Amino acid sequence: MEYPFVDLYYESYGQGFPVIFIHGFSLSHVIWEPVIPYLKADARLILPDLRGHGNSPAPEGPYSMRMMAEDVMALMDKLQLEKAIWVGHSMGGYISQAMARHHPERLAGLAFVATRPLADSPEKLKARSKTINQIREQGVRVVAEDMSERLTYKSDWKVTNFNIINHTPQSGMIGSLQGMASRPDSSELVRNLSLPWVLVAGQEDRFAPLEIAREMAAPLDASHYFEVPKVGHMPMMEAPEVVAQAIRVLLADVESEN
Ligand code: MLT
């Protein structure tokens, strides 16, 4: 382990092969709740809050993607799990990529949800520092207002998402933005993954563009790529049955490998 880890808050449902759900930037384990009824009979679902998010401690950043991955690995150690499937949403996908880079032996499979393999572009880096300044000047509400408007295709989840984001500590948001800005490109890593993986992408995603998802999915066959119409950046809320189906495909792959 490269970094001192943070003891993460988590929730756990069901029994069976462990599946760990890693939420995106400024969100929390709550986003995965709609998926639980579809899967809890099939697997052991573990839902942590990342450092700086939800009910977990929020030390000062920066939080590298590797650091956040190793917090989750420490949770696996605590629960005595040798291997698990990781499901990574957006920033959670970047964290899962860091895990695949540094500790692939602890992964049985990966489900990427509304994420990308690319490092930040120069425009994205500029936008990140602007957001950091805005948070320092105006607090986290500015992010909650902006993101909750754009996360989903329909507005059904807007209030829930606003409340989750608005609850995220300032140190958690800034630490994550700094960490995302310094993450390496993982395109090559994803192209060459030797473990089973799936990708779920919303056709109306305003954070993880569809063209990038399609390119990322190039090594996958049709049964491992789930592109969902009328869904934005939050497929686990907007189409939980599709996310559950993707994970079931992965569970079957893992079972057939063992
Ligand atoms: C997320 O939802 O985790 C973010 O949109 C990721 C990012 O800002 O790159």
Under DSSP, the state recorded for 151 is: S
Tell me the residue type at 92: G
Q: Is 165 in the pocket of ligand 1 (CB under 6 A)?
A: no
Query: Which ligand 1 atom sits nearest the alpha carbon of residue 91?
Result: 3
Q: Considering only CA atoms, which residue is closest to atom 9 of ligand 1?
A: 91
Q: How far apart are CA 29 and CA 47, in angstroms?
A: 5
- pLDDT tens column, 217-237: 999 999 999 999 999 999 999
pLDDT, residue 167, reads: 97
Helices and strands (DSSP H and E) totals, the chain: 11, 7
The preferred substitution site among 90, 146, 233, 234 for testing ligand 1, maximizing ligand atoms within 8 Å of CB, is 90
- pLDDT tens column, 107-126: 999 999 999 999 999 999 99
Give 25 Cα–ligand 1 centroid separation in angstroms: 5
pLDDT, residue 257, reads: 83
Give 236 Cα–ligand 1 centroid separation in angstroms: 15
Q: How far apart are CA 14 and CA 89, in angstroms?
A: 21
pLDDT, residue 136, reads: 98
With beta carbons less than 8 A apart as the criterion, state whether 113 and 200 touch.
Answer: yes
Task: Report, as an integer, the average pLDDT of 2-17.
Answer: 92
Give 195 Cα–ligand 1 centroid separation in angstroms: 24
pTM metric for this prediction:
0.97
Continuous H helices in the chain: 36-39, 65-78, 91-102, 122-138, 141-150, 158-166, 170-181, 187-191, 210-216, 235-238, 240-257
pLDDT, residue 1, reads: 66
| H-run or E-run covering 48 | strand 44-48
**Among 173, 183, 69, which Cα is nearest to 117's?**
183
pLDDT, residue 200, reads: 98
Give 250 Cα–ligand 1 centroid separation in angstroms: 24
SS3 106: helix
Query: Which ligand 1 atom sits nearest the alpha carbon of residue 233?
Result: 2
**Among 73, 98, 90, 78, which Cα is nearest to 20's?**
73
Q: How far apart are CA 72 and CA 169, in angstroms?
A: 19
Q: Residue 46 half-sphere exposure, CB side, CA atoms within 13 Å?
A: 23
- pLDDT tens column, 58-70: 999 999 999 999 9
- pLDDT tens column, 176-203: 999 999 999 999 999 999 999 999 999 9
Domains for the chain: give ranges and CATH numbers.
10-257 (3.40.50.1820)
SS3 169: coil
Share of the chain above pLDDT 90, in %: 97
Query: Which ligand 1 atom sits nearest the alpha carbon of residue 92?
Result: 3
The preferred substitution site among 130, 151, 180, 205 for testing ligand 1, maximizing ligand atoms within 8 Å of CB, is 180
Q: How far apart are CA 76 and CA 71, in angstroms?
A: 9
pLDDT, residue 258, reads: 74
Q: Is 148 in the pocket of ligand 1 (CB under 6 A)?
A: no
Tokens of 241: 């049955």
Q: Is 112 in the pocket of ligand 1 (CB under 6 A)?
A: no
The preferred substitution site among 26, 32, 91 for testing ligand 1, maximizing ligand atoms within 8 Å of CB, is 91
